[in-house]
Every structure is written in structure tokens, then in C-alpha cells.
């Protein structure tokens, strides 16, 4: 327990350090004291020289810091990094890889324990402890150092990403130098523009720094907010007068003293005079005080961090209320950046001005990323080291083909990416020739190309690109954009617009699919494991009042059009299908009686998204009219990979043999029953996987409007029998990376590789 307490304190102390240099010094000092060793040092790998630089030490010659180094595979430090595992020796000098650095004065130390500092499979440096005694460090000591290294790796990775260290220990970001951040490509494309930081209300950690253009006005707003919070505290004190003892109510007096102009208020005003706007100045002051409390030894005082944060959130809420989101300006070519940007936050912006999106959290198949793809907005997610609060109004390039973000790009870099954008425009212009061409292979194989929609903005783009109907209407999006559940008539109007826009072509409406990564602000679902929790059909069957209103609205909207198809999400058992069908039939009878006109029973289908549905599809298909595969979730559940978790994003791949074999199994079973099967996941809109899906025998592919012309070109230029040959080849392969390579070779042979990335031939 003592070791665990020490571990927590070291992590808190490092997090509280004012800059990265101080954080390293705190790290080595704390490690030496806690482990009782004579030497504690940190070596960091410099990307430019590919050498390990001594960046901090307690016990070795301090003059060697920043001046001595080892090659990436040189000495015991290099060996530790190369092997990516601890090196624990009782007589270091006897090891064949021992390399003595005379500048450090380490010749007198015999015991050596080094552990790699790893972040996302990449070695960032090595944490070392040394002693004169010839002894191996015991298992507990080694485990402690490994644990500490793992916890502190994020600090090192962040500092490295924002340029907070180099070989001469410069503790501040380097200005006017292009910084590169890597993430995951969410929606392909290139964007050049200026960053706009997005943050949810009262999230003080995400508030960006901005220049205070009118400091006097910022101070005026702050004082109004402070007085409003003081009144809130006084009201709380009055409210609790009969419930709390005087000594317990003393907390409210402490709050009021902290809000005094000579306390927090005065400090925030100082930061405004220094140049930051009121909200950014508030964040700076609150962070400083929270770090100070976190560093205190007394547990009671450490817990006062929560009080400081609470006051900060209260002040921020009043500042934001004054500002009002409606006053925010979005210039042309805005690039939205944030810790996390939700679907609702995205669609509430002026979409015509949004050039790109970058987030710290999230992964390629999050709901927001799917919507971004539908809107054709280049998106990079999971950029874990992005210093969001420092980047407001900074020039950026978003390369959503490679999952890369450039901050303050050089003139040469801007020129190169402008050329790529020109190539993209030429590619799009060439695709226009496929707008009205049937999706038919040169040897006569035909399949339908549908569109995924959720916003009316999708409709015009989809029709302009020749969509043959809607394969997936995400009915949850209108729910997300409201502050309450929409009523039946309100829903009917929304659904009628979609149905009329495509009539007489089919419109497949998925029933409310919330849960997982799709929360409603007025119906929050908090679960430890939402992907395996209460979501999709499970929620609506538990709440038939919500399900019935939605089905009735859909049926009424389809009167006279008869192009409605209903799709049931997250089905995992035959019982769920039977129960949903019972409610649909009941709703149909109610609407028929209410409207006094005959109601056509819509075609009903199930989504195959979980392995249980794959294995029982032969039973389920007997009850429904069609089947639609949701490849995003199916891939997630087949591979046990959370598609919103950037840490495992590289494991999530639709080219995995298990995913491909499961898809072929579904097609074969559904066709055996004489029913049609489509796929509405992101696989359908990818040129490579679309080839395989066509070869498997899918009857329809449904995708974002931005991908329709690409996929039509692929189909029109690929003989069906050639695609079948490719499928037979990849089905014999047991490696996803090899399968992807085989598919890309095929695209290159067909002259279609430029559909994956402009400029590739």
C-alpha cells in the first residue's frame, strides 16, 4: 500500500510541475527517494539524431544533462529500448553491451535497472536507476519502475508532440515550426484552414487560450459572472440553513472568500491583463490552484481541489451564458478541433464553412465520424497528443488520407497540399461521368447503390450523385438535435420529407438506435461498457411507448408513397424480432383505424451487427423481408475492438479474415432463403472492400453520398468474374494486412488506385 501511495504521489507531482523540464526533474528526484537508490535518470530518444539524450538525473554529473547521448542501439540504455523490456543487472560493466559515459561519472555504479518509456508501441526513452552495490533489483522494485514508466509515458509523449523539449532542454513550444500529429483517418480528404476550438459548456479543461481583444470588456464580463456565483453561493447557504450545522456551513463562507476580488477574481484579472480572454484566464488560474492542492501532503487539503474546480465551473457557466454560442463566428475554411466533438456539436455549426475536423478522442467509426463522412468533411480522430487549448486560430492542414495533422505548416507544405486538392477536384470532375450510369460490371453483373442519410443536407447530395434509394436512414439524428423526444407529428413531418425526396425508390428507416456512442442529451445512458450494454432494439423494446410513437409516425409518413422499409438494429435473438414485429403490426392497425385508409405493411428487415445474428441468420430471415449488415458494429464485435478506442484502432480492420468469412456466411444463408441482403456499413463506401462485397453477392451497397460516384466507377470498371477471382484468393489468406495489399494491387491493376488517394496511379 505504501508503494501504491508513493506511486500516486509521484504521478501527481509530475502532473503538477510547471513545465516539462521541471516534470523530469521531479520524476528522477522522486524515484531516487522512493526506491532508495543512488542514481535515477531519464534518457529520451531524439527523433532527429536517433540517439538517447540524458535529459534529467539525480546522482550523475548534472553538467552531462543535454550534452551526452547514446546511439539508439548503443549501451544498456539502447539495449533496453531496442528490446522494449526491462534490463536488470547486478554487474552492469560485465555486460557485453555496457558503454561507459565518462562525462556522467557512472563508472562507480554496478547495479543497473532500465525500463523503456513506451507510448502506443513506440519507445520514447528509458528510465534508469543505478546503485554501487552489486545486486539485482528485486521483483517489486522492477514492477514499481515499470508501472511508473507506463503512467508517465503520456506526459513524455505530450511534451514531445508539442515541442516542449529538445536536446538543450527548451521548456516551451518552438514558434513558427511545423508540428506534426498523427491520428486515425475518419473521413478522407484534405483541408487547409484555421483552427476553431470546440468545447462543451462548462468543460473548463477544454477552454482554449484566446487573445483578449478588449480586456476591459472581458473584465466586466468576469465581474458579472463572479457576482452571479456569489449570489448562487449565498442562496445555497440560505437554503441549507436549517439542515447543516454552522461549522458545516462555513464552507460557503470559504467559497465567498475565494471569490473575492483579492483572491481568484484578482488573479483572473491579472491573466486578462496579460492577454488572455476571461474564460482562458479562468482556466489558467483554476489549473494553477488545483495543481497546488494536488501537491500537498495532507489528504484533506488535497481533496480541496474539487472545491476549486466546482467554483471554476460555476464561473465558467455564467461567462458562457453571457457569451452565448450564437455569437460565435466561424470563418470560411474553419477546422473544428476539440477533445471530443459530438454529432450534435457538429451539425449545429454552419456546415458550409467547415473544412475539416480533428479530435483528441474518438476513432474512425464513431458516430460523428460517420456523419462527417456523409457530409464529406475531412476528419482525423484519436490525435491523443494534440494540445487543443494552444491551437485556437492556428493555421492547420488536415490530411485525412494518412491520419495526419500539420500545425503551422511551412509554405512548401501548403503548396504541396494545394496541389493535392487540385488533383482531388480533377478526380471528382472525372467521376461526374458516372452520375447517371447504372452500377453494372462490364460482364453484366448489376447491384443497387443506396445512400446513408440522417440530415436533409444528405438528400440533395445523394440525388445529385445518382443514389437509387436510401439503404439506411439514421432516425436517431433528429432525436439528437432536440432537447426532448420529438412528438409523433413532429417525427411524421421529418420522415415524410425523406420518403417524398426519394419516392418511388425505397427508403430504409432504422428504428431509434441510441446507446453505445450515441447518447441523447435528455436521455443519458451511463454504463461501464456501453458497447455491450443497453442500446438499439434493447432500449426501444424496453420502452414500447417510444417505439410505437416512432413506428406510427413512419407509417403515417408513408401513406400514399408506400416506399417505406423498416430496419431493426442490434438484433441478437429471434425473440427480439418477433416482439418488434408484434408492435409494428399493432401500430399498423392503430394507424389504419385512426386514418381511415388502408395502410400498406412496410417491408421489415433486421440488421446483422453481432455474432449471434450471424450464427442465427437462417432462423431470423424466415421472419423478415430482407437483411442488412451493419459492418461497422459487426467488425467491432467480431474482433472485440471498441471502434471508438484510439488505442486499439489499428486492430479494427474490415479486411480481417473472420469478418470476411462472416459476411460470406450471411449472404449465403439469406440467399438460400430467397431474400435480398444489403450492407450499409462503411465497408460499402470503400473502393477496396466494395470489390469484395460485390464478389460475395451482396444485392445492394449503402454508403455516404460522398462515396457514391467512386463506388459506381469501381463497379463499372471491374469485371464480376475478376472480382470473384480476387475474393477466392483472399479467402485463402489468414492475414488482414496481406489481404489489404492484394486488394490494393488489384485496384492498381484496374487503374483505380487513385480512388483511394489522389496522386496514386
**pLDDT per position as a tens digit, 630-640:** 999 999 999 99
pLDDT digits (tens, 9 = 90+) for 230-280: 888 787 677 666 555 565 556 667 778 888 777 888 889 888 988 889 888
Q: Is 61 exposed, middle or buried (0-12, 13-18, 19+ CB in 10 A)?
A: middle
Q: Report how far apart, in Å, the C-alpha atoms of 5 and of each of 8, 11, 121, 149, 496 are.
A: 5, 10, 28, 16, 61
Fold of 204-327: Enzyme I; Chain A, domain 2 (1.10.274)
- Provide DSSP, 457-472: HHHHHHHHTT--SEEE
What is the reported pLDDT for 716? 96
* Predicted local distance difference test score (pLDDT) of residue 530: 82
> 173-182, 465-474, 745-754 — which is least confidently predicted?
173-182
**Which position has the higher pLDDT, 75 or 4?**
75
More confident residue, 627 or 535: 627
Per-residue pLDDT, averaged over 86-109, amounts to 88
582, pLDDT greater than 80: yes
Whether 57 has a pLDDT exceeding 70, the answer reads yes
Find out whether 364 and 186 touch, Cβ atoms under 8 Å.
Answer: yes
Residue 449 has pLDDT above 60, yes or no: yes
pLDDT at 327: 52
* Domain segments of the chain as ranges: 2-161, 182-200+330-427, 204-327, 439-755
pLDDT recorded at residue 245:
58
Catalytic residue selected from 119, 318, 367, 656: 367
367 catalytic residue (yes or no):
yes
The helix (H) or strand (E) run that includes residue 401 is: none
Mean pLDDT value across residues 61-67: 85
Q: Cell 448562487 appears where? A: 232
Q: Classify residue 626 as exposed, middle or buried by CB count within 10 Å of its CB (0-12, 13-18, 19+).
A: buried
Give the residue with greater pLDDT, 310 vs 691.
691
Number of Cβ atoms within 10 Å of the Cβ of 306: 11
At 561, is the pLDDT very low, low, confident or very high (cuts 50, 70, 90)? very high
The confidence score (pLDDT) of residue 169 equals: 40
- Per CATH, 204-327 and 439-755 having the same topology is answered no
Name the average pLDDT for the chain.
Answer: 86
Is pLDDT at 519 greater than 80 in this prediction?
no
Question: Distances from the Cα of 609 to the Cαs of 273, 516, 632, in angstroms?
Answer: 55, 13, 8
pLDDT of residue 173: 41
Q: pLDDT band for 139, please (50, 70, 90 cuts).
A: confident
CA–CA distance, 157 with 124 (Å, rounded to integer): 7
DSSP letter, residue 449: E
Query: 182-200+330-427: which CATH topology?
Result: Glucose Oxidase; domain 1 (3.50.30)
Q: Which helix (H) or strand (E) holds 475?
A: none
CA distance 21 to 170: 8
Chosen CATH of 439-755 out of 3.40.50.1580, 3.20.20.60, 3.30.1490.100, 3.40.50.1370? 3.20.20.60
Alpha carbons 589 and 591: distance in angstroms, whole number: 6
Q: What is the pLDDT of residue 210?
A: 86
What homologous superfamily is domain 2-161 in, according to CATH?
A: GAF domain (3.30.450.40)
Q: Is 716 labeled as catalytic in the residue annotation?
A: no
pTM for this predicted structure: 0.66
- Each as own residue / partner, the long-range contacts of residues 426-431 (CB below 8 Å, 24 or more positions apart, any chain) are 426/758, 427/754, 427/755, 427/758, 428/709, 431/709, 431/710, 431/713
C-alpha span between 446 and 149 (Å, rounded): 57
The pLDDT assigned to 685 comes to: 92
- The 3 state secondary structure assigned to 263-291 is CHHHHHHHHHHCCECHHHHHHHHHHHHHH
- Report the pLDDT value the prediction gives residue 179, as an integer from 0 to 100: 84
Beta-bridged to residue 481, according to DSSP, are none
Of residues 325 and 97, more confidence is placed in 97
Is 138:169 a contact under the CB 8 Å cutoff? no
User: pLDDT band at 401, cuts 50/70/90?
Assistant: confident
> What is the per-residue pLDDT for 251?
63
1 pLDDT higher than 80: no
With bands split at pLDDT 50, 70 and 90, how would you rate the model's confidence at 326?
very low
Judged by phi (left if over 0) then psi (alpha if -120 to 50, else beta), residue 119 lies in beta
Q: Residues of the chain with pLDDT > 70: what percent?
A: 90
Tens of pLDDT, residue by residue over 295-313, are 666 665 555 666 777 788 8
Q: 104-118, 169-183, 725-739 — which is least confidently predicted?
A: 169-183
- What pLDDT was estimated at residue 317? 81
**DSSP β-ladder status, 190-197 and 334-338:** parallel
pLDDT digits (tens, 9 = 90+) for 603-632: 999 999 999 999 999 999 999 999 999 999
Reported confidence tier of residue 545, pLDDT bands at 50, 70, 90: very high
Amino acid at each position: 500500500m505504501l508503494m501504491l501511495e508513493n506511486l500516486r504521489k509521484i504521478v501527481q507531482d509530475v502532473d503538477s510541475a510547471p513545465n516539462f523540464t521541471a516534470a523530469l526533474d521531479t520524476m528522477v528526484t522522486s524515484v531516487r527517494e522512493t526506491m532508495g537508490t543512488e542514481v535515477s535518470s531519464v534518457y529520451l530518444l531524439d527523433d532527429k539524431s536517433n540517439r538517447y539524450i540524458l535529459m534529467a538525473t539525480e546522482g550523475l554529473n548534472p553538467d552531462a544533462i543535454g550534452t551526452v547521448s547514446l546511439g539508439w542501439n548503443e549501451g544498456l540504455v539502447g539495449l533496453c529500448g531496442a528490446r522494449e523490456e526491462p534490463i536488470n543487472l547486478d554487474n552492469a560493466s560485465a555486460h557485453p553491451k555496457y558503454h561507459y559515459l565518462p562525462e556522467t561519472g557512472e563508472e562507480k555504479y554496478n547495479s543497473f535497472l532500465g525500463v523503456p518509456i513506451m507510448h502506443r508501441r513506440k519507445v520514447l526513452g528509458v528510465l534508469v536507476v543505478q546503485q554501487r552495490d552489486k545486486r539485482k533489483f528485486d521483483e517489486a522494485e522492477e514492477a514499481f519502475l515499470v508501472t511508473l514508466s507506463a503512467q508517465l509515458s503520456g506526459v513524455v509523449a505530450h511534451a514531445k508532440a508539442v515541442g516542449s523539449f529538445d536536446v538543450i532542454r527548451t521548456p516551451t513550444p518552438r514558434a513558427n515550426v511545423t508540428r506534426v500529429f498523427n491520428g486515425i483517418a475518419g473521413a478522407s480528404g484534405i483541408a487547409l484552414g484555421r483552427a476553431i476550438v470546440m468545447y462543451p459548456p462548462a468543460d473548463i479543461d477544454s477552454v482554449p487560450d484566446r487573445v483578449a481583444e478588449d480586456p476591459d470588456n472581458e473584465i466586466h464580463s468576469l465581474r458579472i459572472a463572479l457576482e452571479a456565483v456569489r449570489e448562487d453561493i449565498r442562496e445555497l447557504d440560505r437554503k441549507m440553513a436549517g439542515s447543516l450545522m454552522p461549522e458545516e456551513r462555513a464552507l460557503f463562507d470559504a467559497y465567498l472568500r475565494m471569490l473575492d476580488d483579492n483572491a481568484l477574481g484578482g488573479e483572473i484579472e491579472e491573466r486578462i491583463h496579460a492577454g488572455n480572454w476571461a474564460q482562458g484566464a479562468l482556466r489558467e488560474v483554476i489549473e494553477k490552484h488545483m495543481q497546488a492542492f494536488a501537491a500537498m501532503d495532507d489528504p484533506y487539503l488535497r481533496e480541496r481541489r474539487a472545491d476549486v474546480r466546482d467554483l471554476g465551473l460555476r464561473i465558467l457557466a455564467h461567462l458562457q451564458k453571457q457569451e452565448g454560442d450564437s455569437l460565435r463566428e466561424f470563418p470560411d475554411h474553419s477546422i473544428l478541433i476539440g477533445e471530443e466533438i459530438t454529432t450534435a456539436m457538429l451539425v449545429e455549426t454552419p456546415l458550409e464553412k467547415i473544412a475539416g475536423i480533428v479530435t483528441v478522442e474518438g476513432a474512425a467509426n464513431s458516430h460523428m465520424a460517420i456523419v462527417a463522412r456523409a457530409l464529406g468533411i475531412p476528419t482525423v480522430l484519436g490525435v491523443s497528443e494534440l494540445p487543443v487549448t494552444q491551437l485556437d486560430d492556428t493555421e492547420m492542414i488536415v490530411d485525412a488520407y494518412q491520419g495526419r495533422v500539420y500545425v503551422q505548416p511551412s509554405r512548401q507544405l501548403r503548396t504541396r497540399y494545394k496541389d493535392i486538392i487540385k488533383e482531388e477536384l480533377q478526380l471528382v470532375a472525372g467521376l461526374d461521368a458516372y452520375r447517371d450510369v447504372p452500377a453494372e460490371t462490364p460482364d453484366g453483373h448489376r447491384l443497387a447503390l443506396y445512400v446513408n442519410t440522417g440530415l436533409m443536407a444528405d438528400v440533395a447530395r445523394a440525388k445529385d450523385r445518382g443514389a437509387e434509394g436510401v439503404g439506411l436512414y439514421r432516425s436517431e439524428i433528429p432525436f439528437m438535435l432536440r432537447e426532448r423526444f420529438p412528438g409523433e407529428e413532429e417525427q411524421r413531418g421529418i420522415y415524410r420529407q425523406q420518403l417524398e425526396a426519394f419516392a418511388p425508390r425505397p427508403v430504409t428507416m432504422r428504428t431509434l438506435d441510441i446507446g453505445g456512442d450515441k447518447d441523447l442529451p435528455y436521455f443519458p445512458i451511463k454504463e461501464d461498457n456501453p458497447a455491450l450494454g443497453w442500446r438499439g432494439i434493447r432500449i426501444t423494446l424496453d420502452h414500447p411507448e417510444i417505439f410505437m410513437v416512432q413506428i406510427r409516425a413512419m407509417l403515417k409518413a408513408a401513406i400514399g408513397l408506400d416506399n417505406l422499409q423498416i430496419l431493426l438494429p442490434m438484433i441478437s435473438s429471434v425473440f427480439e424480432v418477433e416482439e418488434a414485429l408484434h408492435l409494428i403490426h399493432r401500430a399498423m392497425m392503430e394507424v389504419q383505424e385512426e386514418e381511415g385508409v388502408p395502410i400498406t405493411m412496410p417491408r421489415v428487415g433486421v440488421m446483422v451487427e453481432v455474432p449471434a445474428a450471424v450464427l442465427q441468420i437462417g432462423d431470423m430471415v424466415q421472419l423478415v423481408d430482407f437483411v442488412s449488415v451493419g459492418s461497422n458494429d459487426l467488425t467491432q464485435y467480431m474482433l472485440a475492438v471498441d471502434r471508438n478506442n484510439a488505442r486499439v484502432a489499428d486492430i479494427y480492420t474490415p479486411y480481417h479474415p473472420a469478418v470476411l468469412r462472416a459476411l460470406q456466411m450471411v449472404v449465403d444463408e439469406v440467399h438460400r432463403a430467397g431474400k435480398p441482403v444489403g450492407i450499409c456499413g462503411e465497408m460499402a463506401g470503400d473502393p477496396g472492400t466494395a470489390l469484395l462485397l460485390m464478389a460475395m453477392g451482396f444485392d445492394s451497397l449503402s454508403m455516404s453520398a460522398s462515396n457514391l460516384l467512386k463506388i459506381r466507377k469501381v463497379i463499372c470498371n471491374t469485371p464480376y468474374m475478376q472480382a470473384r477471382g480476387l475474393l477466392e484468393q483472399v479467402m485463402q489468406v489468414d492475414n488482414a494486412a496481406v489481404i489489404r495489399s492484394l486488394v490494393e494491387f488489384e485496384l492498381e491493376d484496374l487503374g483505380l488506385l487513385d480512388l483511394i488517394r489522389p496522386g496514386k496511379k
